[in-house]
Amino acid sequence: MQTFSSQRSRADEPALWLGTSWKMTKTIGEALAYVEQLLTVDIPSGMQVFVLPAHTALFAVANALPQDSPVLLGAQDAHWARDGAATGEVSMRMVRDAGASIVELGHSERRAAFGETDERIAWKVRAAVDSGLLPLVCVGESHEIRVAGGARDFVASQVAAALSGLNPTEVARAMVAYEPVWAIGEHGRAATLPEVTPVLDSIHEVASALSSTGRLRAVLYGGSVDADNISELVTADGVDGVFVGRAAWDAAGMRRLIEIAAQARRLPGT
């Protein structure tokens, strides 16, 4: 089983991040079968791969990853409180204890279906950093906000709110994934670079204002990422990597994305 320290040493300064959330899919057996295949993939130096299984599979996947694995493990969410009367929830320290080093926060599905507010997401970001986890904050505008011309301001406000509980030296310990709500999911439409780039610029501007280093740990793009558009996305200005959905839900698809992204970025060994 990987320890947090052994995972983090691999992720100090990756040139490219490539991760996937499995959402509410995969039993423990299915998760382990995926990982077994993923570990046969030659992940090039400079690429940081990560997977976010369901909570039920975290510990099993953590034990399946060797100490020197190039794959990081993360959780899809966690509560901000250390412990207490929060039936059905798990805390940051619990997911870290199960083997996670990343925690996804603020996904649009949780904002819409479970009423997650910017304030609660900020509490979770604070709790993640306090627990030694790397928060991956998801932000993105709806189709209505996009059409009205408010995407940049809306996403900038989401980022600023999520990071509001961190001090300037801690902001560089957080990642942000820009996922336009209209571009994700089974019926999402792949965004074009002209649609994405101005919003990414806004995210970087917020980070520059809030962080003592002038930047976040990484800024990822997610939303209908697949084998057809990943090359363009990973070579775009302001993109440190991609956060993939359905195209990476099977190990063969993930392998293909790793290969294409590595070649596009001309990483060593490709």
Q: Are 222 and 184 in contact (CB under 8 A)?
A: yes
DSSP E strand stretches across the chain: 16-21, 47-52, 71-75, 102-105, 134-139, 175-178, 218-221, 241-244
Task: State residue 76 phi and psi, 5-degree precision.
Answer: -85, -10
- Catalytic status, residue 107: yes
- Catalytic status, residue 141: no
Residue with tokens 């080093």: 101
Q: Are 87 and 47 in contact (CB under 8 A)?
A: no
Cα 181 to Cα 146: distance, rounded to the nearest angstrom: 10
Quick one: how far is CA 77 from the chain centroid? 11
Which of these is catalytic: 79, 104, 107, 170?
107
Cα 181 to Cα 141: distance, rounded to the nearest angstrom: 6
Which of these is catalytic: 104, 141, 179, 204?
179
Residue with tokens 């300064």: 13
Quick one: how far is CA 161 from the chain centroid? 18
Cα 179 to Cα 151: distance, rounded to the nearest angstrom: 11
Task: State residue 29 phi and psi, 5-degree precision.
Answer: -65, -40
Cα 142 to Cα 164: distance, rounded to the nearest angstrom: 22
Closest CA to 246 of 178, 184, 180: 184
- Residues involved in catalysis: 107, 179
